[in-house]
Structure 1
């Protein structure tokens, strides 16, 4: 019986020592595991922030490039295209030519009307002379 009691006593002391050692060790391991899990989450979040920042920088640089190129093209383009100037000049020339043609026709018609009026006046005078005689 004494041997069993001594064995039980030794076993109880060993269990007590294991509890005294294991529980703090387990607590420590749980804290380490939680810390590592949080660290992993923080690394993931930081990676996403870095990737988002890189994507934004790339998109902004692309938009800046496109904007600068379009602005340079517009700055180098003339205010009025040469084709527009040529069309405008051709229209002006045609307008001047048509106006001169119309004026020439009007002048010819007026001259013809003057001649006709002259004939009519002569004819009237002749009729009046014939009637008075």
Structure 2
């Protein structure tokens, strides 16, 4: 089998797109109004008539061109572009830009300050109420 034939195997491309969409053959069959065996035959076919290809593309939620031009390398490059943070300002949580323990200590200190302010406020309220009772 030549490399050219392998790369233009429409059935394999449909199979890979279906797998990337996390779809089972049964689900694709249901969307096409057929059975799982028919989908298996489609995925094992090197070529598919244009009309059937349009139906499959619609069921998969992609264009006919996407199926025809699909390659594993392009898909890998596409998904890797989301995790390549060298040239991107977006951080997807893979690398912390702060020390989580420092943030925990900051939160603890802030809680401590708030508690001290609350305690001071309660002391002021108590002394004010005592003063009112003495004045009566």
Q: Give the TM-score category using the shorter length.
A: 0.3 to 0.5
Q: Name the structure, 1 or 2, with higher relative contact order (CA <8 Å, separation 6+).
A: 2
Q: Which has the larger radius of gyration?
A: 1
Q: TM-score, normalised by structure 2?
A: 0.35
| Structure richer in helix, relative to its length | 1
